Every structure is written in C-alpha cells, then in structure tokens.
Amino acid sequence: MTGESDDLSRLRDEIDQVGVSAAKRVDPGTGALVIAVAVFALLVAQLLPWAGAARGWEILLGEIPDGEVVGALPKMFAFASVIAGVLLSALSLILRRWALVWFCALGCFVASVSGVLSIWTQQTTTSHAPGPGPGVGLIVAVVAVVVLLVMWLRLAASRSGL
C-alpha cells in the first residue's frame, strides 16, 4: 500500500510542477503573427527617412548626415523602439514568459510616448529652420510601436489569476 501512495504522491508532485511551469508561460496565439508583422514594419522603418535625409538606422548609430539636425527624442525613440520593439519582442515570442511580456508592454509604452513626442518635436520646434518635419519612416515606426504596445498589453492583461 505504501508503494502505491508513493507513486501517487510523486504523480501529484509532477502534476504540480507542470502547473507551475505552465503558469509562467504565455501563448500569444494568432497575435504572434501581428506582433511579427509589426516588428518587421519597425525594421523596415529603420531604412526609411526619419528627419530630413537622416534614416532611422543612422539616428540609432549616431551617423547623422551633415546638415541634418536631429533632437534627443528621435534618438531616444530609435533606441527604445529597437530594444523594446525588436529585441524584447523577439525574445518574448521565442521564450514565451509572462515577465518578458510585461517588459515588452512597458518598453513599448515608453517607446510609443517618445515616438509621438519625436513626431511632435519634428513638427513644432525651432531648432531647425525650416524643419524637415517627421519622415515617413518615423511615422511608420511609431505606428508599429503602438501596434506592439496594444498587442503586448492585451496579452499581458489576458493572464488569469494564479
């Protein structure tokens, strides 16, 4: 009888371990495709002009063409969008951990706020006369980051109570 109860207790422990492991994982479902497309759009946006002739990757790497004035916010957005929008999103889709989903949501929130402010400063500041305004790449990047923000927040909020 004790051998049978030992087997049942080991089985119960194994089931508990599987439950704890499953509680740490997330399944994005069809949202993974939307996230992947938004990440791809963000990567394409890095190749497009953000401010005048300065492209996103040039702003990210600090290789801004001569004569172009790029403020601090587009630079901050370039870093935040690549870190939260590309790297953390890819890592979250690969590892599927709840903690990473929350980091993606928070990182995309910071990136989206800095992105919207980047567009605003490109339109309203007097640091460039006359300013080139936001480029198509900056606008595409901000839209992609906002889509990522919505998807990650939705996924993070979908977690049921433990």
Mean local confidence (pLDDT), 76-96: 93
**Residue 130 preceded by cis peptide, ω within 30:** yes
Give kind and range of the element (H or E) at residue 51.
strand 49-51
10 domain-assigned: no
The pTM (predicted TM-score) of the whole model is 0.81
Phi, then psi, of 49 in degrees rounded to 5: -65, 140
Has residue 130 got a pLDDT over 70? Answer: no
67 domain-assigned: no
143 domain-assigned: yes
Contact 140, 44 (CB under 8 A): yes
List, for residues 45-79, the tens digit of each pLDDT value.
Answer: 999 998 888 899 999 898 888 877 788 888 999 99
What whole-number distance in Å separates Cα of residue 55 and Cα of residue 89?
22
Closest among 131, 151, 121 to 39, alpha carbons compared: 151
Q: CA quadruple 111, 113, 114, 116: dihedral positive or negative?
A: positive
3-state helix vs strand vs coil in the chain, percent to 5: 70, 5, 25
Phi-psi region of 138 (alpha: psi -120 to 50; beta: other; left: phi over 0): alpha
What is the domain extent for residue 114? 72-162
How many independent structural domains does the chain possess? 1
Mean local confidence (pLDDT), 73-102: 92
141, two tokens: 């990047």
129 domain-assigned: yes
84, two tokens: 């939260």
DSSP string computed for 62-80: T-PPTT----HHHHHHHHH
27 domain-assigned: no
- Please state, for a pLDDT cut of 90, what percent of the chain lies above it: 47
142 domain-assigned: yes
99 domain-assigned: yes
75, two tokens: 């630079």
Mean local confidence (pLDDT), 145-149: 97
Has residue 17 got a pLDDT over 80? Answer: no
62 domain-assigned: no
Has residue 162 got a pLDDT over 50? Answer: no
Tell me, what's the pLDDT at 160? Answer: 58
